[in-house]
Amino acid sequence: MPHEPTGNRASVSTLVEGRPTLPKLREAAARCRRCHLWERGTQTVFGEGRARASVLLVGEQPGNEEDLAGRPFVGPAGRVLDEGLDAAGIDRDAAYVTNAVKHFKWEPKGKRRIHQKPNWTEMTACRPWLEAELEVVKPEVVVALGATAAQTLLGRSFRVTKQRGELVESELHPRVVATVHPSSILRAPDRDARRAAMEDFVEDLRVVAKLLG
């Protein structure tokens, strides 16, 4: 029985006309008004990578650097992701990397923009873009990085802490592996905790590498 995110699936045909392609989707997503987050972000940060990647990695939402660059996982969390992928033997250049929510949600604190977790309404509003990316890329395996990505793919009751590193089935894809978000490794309290968290992350990614053969 696949994990079911919600019953509310929007058709890809409502996003772009004709056969969906990544350039068409990216262009349409740049004008997305499916929720209010477009007002806050600098731009839509659409996924990027191989059009027929064997692995598709899903993060939460762009961070400050990604929002400015317009590219996913190019900031500190991206560097942790690269380190983990490298240790697990997965080539990021051969992957497709995206986010569950494609605008940066933030609140001002002095001069800084502080990350805010997207809520369920925002996650649900953005999900058709992820569905479309999955439909076009047709990856062999999907990796959910953290709770937001995991719940978008696997439903609100899915717990990364309980089922990380397991192969599970989603209504959106038959082969999903969830693991922690790379930024949680950055938040580890000290070096030993960080090393242990990184080892666990790499172990989960090795499950993915094995599935990819």
Q: Which of residues 177-206 bind ligand URA (CB under 6 A)?
A: 183
Supply angle C-alpha 24, 28, 33, rounded to 5: 165
Question: Whose Cβ is closer to ligand URA: residue 2's or residue 64's?
Answer: 64
Q: Which of residues 98-137 bind ligand URA (CB under 6 A)?
A: 99
According to CB under 6 A, which one of 37, 66, 136, 202 is a site residue for ligand URA? 66
Which residue intervals of the chain are DSSP H helices? Answer: 22-29, 64-69, 76-88, 120-137, 147-154, 160-163, 182-186, 191-211
Does position 77 interact with ligand URA (CB under 6 A)? The reply is: yes
CA atoms within 13 A on the CB side of 190: 1
According to CB under 6 A, which one of 5, 29, 55, 73 is a site residue for ligand URA? 73
Question: Whose Cβ is closer to ligand URA: residue 2's or residue 188's?
Answer: 188
Does position 96 interact with ligand URA (CB under 6 A)? The reply is: no
Q: In this structure, is the dihedral angle defined by the CA atoms of residues 57, 136, 105 and 162, taken in order, positive or negative? A: negative
How far apart, in whole angstroms, are the C-alpha atoms of residue 95 and residue 211? Answer: 14
According to CB under 6 A, which one of 41, 47, 49, 62 is a site residue for ligand URA? 62
Neighbours of 188 (CB within 10 A): 14
- The residues with which 137 forms a beta bridge, in sequence order, are none
Does position 61 interact with ligand URA (CB under 6 A)? The reply is: yes
Question: Whose Cβ is closer to ligand URA: residue 151's or residue 183's?
Answer: 183
Quote the distance between the C-alpha of residue 123 and its chain's center: 11
Does position 60 interact with ligand URA (CB under 6 A)? The reply is: yes
In the complex, the residues that contact ligand URA under the rule CB under 6 A are: 59-63, 66, 72-73, 75, 77-78, 99, 183
